[in-house]
């Protein structure tokens, strides 16, 4: 009943929703399968570097990645690492999970970030499949919400043989919930390769942007758009602003909002090109295009309560990183970038000048950090393969 309602609202893929009942839409490949799970788009994209490192070390191993959201499936499908396929995680009930595990028979189960499905974890462990939790992230609020369920979490964590955290605070929070042997290894998001870009679409968009000096506002929310749009009219040699909203369905509302600043806008989702002051690129799965084409990226979520989005995506593509003051969700990531002069914080007053400055050296430093991180996951890849008996 739940899936029927979500399907009617367009929240499930019509041809794949039964995967959530444990019914596979793909055959199982030959050889050992590593199953990795992450909930949403950002989490699932962060796994690509780790999968690539494991694939390079073990040519005979195949990979299954599961997630729960429609958007994550659509974007990840355009960014598949070697020998990797995607399915939706079944609902957390024995019949669906049993069907899923019977079909895929994974040699290893790797969970990412912080959301654990108790039924899936227990069902996997009961079959003797080794479990690992990687790239764990848990802030103070998330820890407080889970504290009353410490007994449950301690039981779940005891079933994981490897647990790695993004930062020391997460490590403490996990330990307080009963996790043993937590290691702080940093964020896997830094190790993810650049997002893919369709060559034909890239060439077409590059031609359309000639002479327009594009800058990108990525994964934006209303608070970010208000600040950046207010800064745009103050710039003497105004760049073309590309707005890639976190929720592409907001494209029409953003276009109406642009007019309030005396600016004009076009929308990519309706087939319009970059012929106005602002080009709203309200499409899904094309961020790889905009990071490659825009020398400067303003990270969305950093001017409001969202507290930031992933800065490593533009870094991997060589786009310079600008951001507002609100970065708590990625505090360690932004701190690492600033330590190496690879990102710049700008407020409402300084944003106009920052958008038109030459940040090529800063972008190069961020790209170097990203490249180094991609080479830094080899040790974890080797450890996981050994855990699953595939080393």
Gyration radius of the chain over CA positions: 21
For the beta sheet containing 278-280, the strands, ordered from the edge strand earlier in sequence to the opposite edge, are 265-267, 278-280, 240-245, 214-220, 296-299, 320-323, 344-345
Residue 126, pLDDT score: 97
Quote the DSSP letter at residue 21. G
Evaluate the CA torsion angle 297, 189, 67, 199 in order and state its sign: positive
Q: Among residues 349, 281, 289, 283, which one has the least CA distance to residue 313? A: 289
pLDDT in tens, 341-390: 999 999 999 999 999 999 999 999 999 999 999 888 999 999 999 999 99
For residues 201-214, one letter each, b for 16 or more C-beta atoms within 10 angstroms of the residue's C-beta and e for the rest, the string is ebeebeeebeebeb
Q: Report d(CA 173, CA 163) in Å as an integer.
A: 13
Place of tokens 């106005």: 276
Say which DSSP state 190 is in.
G
pLDDT of residue 82: 93
Residues near 381 by Cβ (< 8 Å), separated by ≥ 6?
Answer: 50, 53, 54, 56, 57
Backbone φ and ψ of 364, nearest 5°:
-65, -40
Mapped onto helix, strand or coil, the DSSP state of residue 344 is strand
Domains of the chain in sequence order: 2-193+374-387 (3.40.50.11720), 199-373 (3.40.50.2000)
On the question of pLDDT at 150 being above 90, the answer is: yes
pLDDT, residue 115, reads 86
Q: Collapse the DSSP code of 367 into the 3-class scheme (helix H, G, I; strand E, B; otherwise coil) and give the result.
A: helix
Residue 361's φ and ψ, nearest 5 degrees, are -65, -40
Instruction: Report the pLDDT value the prediction gives residue 11, as an integer from 0 to 100.
Output: 87
Average pLDDT, the chain: 95
- Interval 160-179: pLDDT, tens: 999 999 989 999 999 999 99
d(CA 51, CA 169) in angstroms, rounded, equals 26
Query: Please, which pLDDT band fits residue 276 given cuts at 50, 70 and 90?
Result: very high
pLDDT interval class at 114 (50, 70, 90): confident
pLDDT per position as a tens digit, 38-89? 988 889 999 999 999 999 999 999 999 999 998 899 899 989 999 999 999 9
In this structure, what token pair is assigned to residue 33?
């399968």
**Mean pLDDT calculated for residue range 307-335:** 95
DSSP conformation letters of 148-197: GGHHHHHHHHTT-SEEEESSHHHHHHHHHTT--S-EE---GGGGPPPPP-
pTM exceeds 0.85, yes or no: yes
Q: Return d(Cα 359, Cα 228) in angstroms, integer.
A: 18
CA pair distance 189, 257, nearest whole angstrom: 32
- Is residue 73 within 8 A of residue 87, CB to CB? The reply is no
* pLDDT over 90 at 186, yes or no: no
CA distance 368 to 258: 35
pLDDT of residue 41: 87
* Alpha-carbon dihedral sign for residues 162, 168, 170, 175: positive
* Predicted pLDDT at 311: 97
Q: For the chain, what percent of residues have pLDDT higher than 90?
A: 89
**For range 245-254, the mean pLDDT:** 96
Gap between the Cα atoms of 3 and 17, Å rounded = 7
Say how far apart CA 45 and CA 194 lie, in whole Å. Answer: 10
pLDDT of 48 reads: 96
Indicate the burial class of 172 (C-beta count within 10 angstroms; 0-12, 13-18, 19 or more).
middle
Share of the chain above pLDDT 70, in %: 100
Q: Average pLDDT, stretch 281-295?
A: 96
> Crossing angle for the helix pair 360-374 and 48-57, nearest 10 degrees?
50
What DSSP element (H or E) covers 290? helix 287-293
For 67, the token pair is 């997630």
Task: Specify the pLDDT at position 385.
Answer: 97
- DSSP classification of residue 59: T
**CA distance linking residue 362 with residue 321, whole number of Å:** 8
């Amino acid at each position: 009943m739940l899936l029927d309602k979500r399907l009617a609202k367009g929240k499930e893929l019509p041809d794949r929703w039964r995967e959530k009942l444990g019914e596979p839409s793909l055959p199982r490949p030959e050889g050992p399968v590593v199953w990795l799970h992450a909930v949403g788009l950002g989490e699932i994209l962060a796994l690509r570097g780790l999968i690539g490192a494991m694939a390079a070390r073990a040519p005979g191993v195949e990979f299954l990645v599961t997630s729960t959201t429609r958007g994550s499936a659509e974007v990840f499908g355009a960014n598949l690492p070697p020998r990797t396929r995607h399915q939706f995680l079944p609902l957390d009930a024995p019949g669906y999970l049993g069907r899923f595990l019977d079909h895929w028979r994974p040699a290893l189960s790797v969970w990412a970030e912080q959301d654990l499905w108790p039924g899936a974890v227990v069902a996997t462990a009961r079959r003797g499949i080794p479990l690992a939790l990687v790239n764990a992230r848990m802030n103070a609020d998330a820890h407080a919400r889970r504290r009353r369920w410490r007994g449950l979490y301690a039981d779940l964590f005891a079933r994981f043989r490897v647990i790695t955290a993004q930062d020391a605070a997460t490590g403490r929070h996990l330990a307080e919930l009963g996790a043993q042997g937590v290691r702080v290894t940093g964020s896997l998001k830094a190790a993810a390769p650049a997002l893919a870009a369709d060559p034909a679409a890239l060439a077409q968009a590059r031609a359309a942007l000639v002479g327009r000096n594009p800058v990108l506002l990525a994964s934006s929310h209303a608070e970010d758009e208000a600040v950046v749009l207010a800064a745009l009219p103050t710039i003497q040699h105004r760049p073309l602003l590309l707005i890639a909203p976190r929720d592409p369905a907001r494209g029409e509302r953003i276009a109406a909002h642009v007019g309030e600043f005396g600016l004009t806008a076009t929308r990519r989702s309706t087939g319009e090109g970059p012929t106005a002051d602002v080009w709203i690129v309200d499409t899904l799965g094309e961020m790889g295009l905009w990071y490659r084409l825009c020398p400067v990226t303003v990270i969305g979520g950093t001017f409001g309560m969202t507290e930031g989005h992933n800065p490593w995506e533009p870094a991997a593509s060589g786009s310079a990183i600008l951001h507002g003051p609100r970065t708590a969700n990625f505090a360690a990531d932004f701190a690492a970038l600033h330590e190496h002069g690879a990102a710049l914080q700008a407020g409402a007053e300084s944003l106009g000048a920052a958008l038109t400055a030459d940040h090529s050296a800063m972008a190069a430093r961020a790209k170097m950090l990203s490249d180094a991180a991609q080479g830094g996951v080899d040790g974890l890849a080797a450890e996981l393969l050994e855990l699953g008996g595939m080393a």
